[in-house]
Amino acid sequence: MYVLIVGAGKVGWNLARELIERGHEVTLVESNRGRYATVEEELGHCVQAGDGSELWVLERAGIERADMVIAATGDDEDNILISQVGREKYGVERIIARCNNPRNFQHFELLGVKPVVSATDLILRLIEHEVPKYGPLHLLDLHQERLEIIELDVDEGSSAAGSRVEDVGLPDGALVISILRGGAGFVPTGESVIEGGDEVLLVLDPGLEDSVTGFFTSAAGTRAA
Amino acid sequence: MFIVIVGCGRVGSAVAKSMLSGGHDVSVIDEDPEAIALLEKGQDRSWEELGGSFTVGTALELDALLEAGIERADAFVVSTDGDNTNLVVAQIAQRRFEVPKVVVRVLDPARAKWYREQGLSTICPTQTAIELLEEAVLDGVGDRQEVA
């Protein structure tokens, strides 16, 4: 596979090294001369100096025959632009864009750039996973499919605790897809009984999260805010 | 007409002043709070007293765009010093806020040309300079006669 990576920062450089080790053909484009010189010492001819948002630089780097383009600069506007011309002008089939500021994610989406990888976002999710006592945990937003998957702790004394799945009274568009108990998980049927202390995974239509959370928290409000 | 202008450098500020004196409502965005000085240069009153408005922020911040009034803008001019920023912001104005008229400055002729083909109204000062220079050089000049 021929992979073109724009931006030889920590992300781009390490990616290039990994991909080369796995036997792929890689070109890395870097605009900063000093950075280019540093990276060139290790990667040699695999790195080219130039502004990767200039079309001739992309063409010189062989974008027209690239199987994949990774826009990994530290600048979101540059990454959006590189992704856009990569796909729409040069017909590259696989594009991956780095999003530096999660607030810019919506701009990537608006302009049809996907998939988008945001380190900040990934780390935030890890933190949520490691520190889960703050309400429902967003496991996955399926933007295109318009679905969300969330994880909830079942409080003792909540309306769901001790109740069969089909009797909980969840709204349409909310489905319990897994119950985690004592370190193991299973896929429930309507008759499965939810117990206090369980963790449940639910798939939801967007916007149902708040109304669904109430079924699993106790009225006593023992949870951390 | 209500015009929002992003980027208050030499170009953006000049367009803003000219539009305001032409009787239009003008709202300017720049990340540098000091940039308002360019709008007030040579004026005896402040930009706001003259009827203009000014928002500090970068154009990828939706809050700044909203504060500047993009939702009711009839026209949108993008002229920051970054081509890629300009191209992204212009597309946000066009697609997300559906501003009827979006004009964007792009210094690189190649990007300006391709995005124009995609339906953006791009202005490329570099291309204009190239054409004017060629024209000026060739205007009325033939091969020089050898001096005997």
Q: What is the pLDDT of residues A29-88, one digit of tens each?
A: 999 999 999 999 999 999 999 999 999 999 999 999 999 999 999 999 999 999 999 999
For chain B, give the longest Cα–Cα distance: 71
Please list, in sequence order, all residues whose beta carbon lies within 8 angstroms of the beta carbon of residue A168, skipping any fewer than 6 positions away. A159, A160, A176, A194, A215
Q: Is the pLDDT of residue A194 over 60?
A: yes
Look at residue A10 and give its three-state secondary structure.
helix
Has residue B68 got a pLDDT over 70?
A: yes
CA A20 to chain centroid, in Å, comes to 24
Name the residue with higher pLDDT: A208 or B148: A208
**A94, two tokens:** 């696989």
pLDDT at position B139 is 85
Range(s) of the domain holding residue B20: 2-138
Give the pLDDT band (50/70/90) at residue A144. low
Is residue B30, in this structure, part of any structural domain at all? yes
What is the tally of structural domains in chain B? 1
Instruction: With CB atoms and an 8 Å threshold, state whether B114 touches A85.
Output: yes
Q: Is the dihedral of CA A185, A187, A193, A194 positive or negative?
A: positive
Range in A78-82, A116-120, A142-146 the model is least confident about: A142-146
Q: Is residue B143 part of a domain?
A: no
Integer Cα distance of B14 and A216 in angstroms: 60
Among A15-29, A182-196, B89-103, name the one with the lowest average pLDDT.
A182-196
Residue A149: the pLDDT is 78
Query: Domains of chain A, with CATH numbers?
Result: 2-122 (3.40.50.720), 132-213 (3.30.70.1450)
The answer to whether A81 contacts B108, with C-beta atoms less than 8 Å apart, is no
Q: Predicted ipTM? A: 0.87
Higher pLDDT, A138 or A26: A26
| pLDDT above 70 (res A161) | yes
On whether residue B39 sits in a domain, the answer given is yes
For residue B17, being part of any structural domain is answered with: yes
Set of chain B residues whose Cβ sits within 8 Å of the Cβ of A80: 84, 88
pLDDT at B146: 78
The whole-chain average pLDDT of chain B stands at: 94
With beta carbons under 8 A apart, name residues in chain B contacting A7: none
d(CA B36, CA B12): 11
Task: Answer yes or no: is B148 within a domain.
Answer: no
Please name the residue of chain A whose CA is at the shortest distance from the CA of residue B117: A89
> Looking at beta carbons, which residues of chain B come within 8 Å of A89?
114
Q: Mean pLDDT across the stretch B82-109? A: 96
In a domain, residue B113? The reply is yes
CA distance A175 to A201: 8
Q: Smallest CA–CA separation between B142 and chain A, in Å?
A: 34
Return the CATH number at B77.
Answer: 3.40.50.720
Strand partners, A4: A27, A69
Give A143's pLDDT tier (boundaries 50, 70, 90): low
**What does DSSP assign to residue B54?**
E
Torsion angles phi and psi, residue A87, rounded to 5: -80, -50
Q: What is the DSSP letter of B113?
A: H
SS3 A125: helix
Residue A135 in this model has a pLDDT that exceeds 60 = no
For residues B36-58, average pLDDT:
93
Predicted confidence at residue A16, as pLDDT, reads 93
Predicted confidence band of residue A222 (pLDDT cuts 50, 70, 90): very low
Q: How confident is the model at residue A223 (pLDDT cuts 50, 70, 90)?
A: very low
Report DSSP state, residue A165: G
- The answer to whether the Cβ–Cβ distance between A80 and B61 falls below 8 Å is no
pLDDT greater at residue A140 or residue B96: B96
Within-domain flag for B147: no
Indicate the average pLDDT of chain A: 86
Predicted confidence band of residue A224 (pLDDT cuts 50, 70, 90): very low
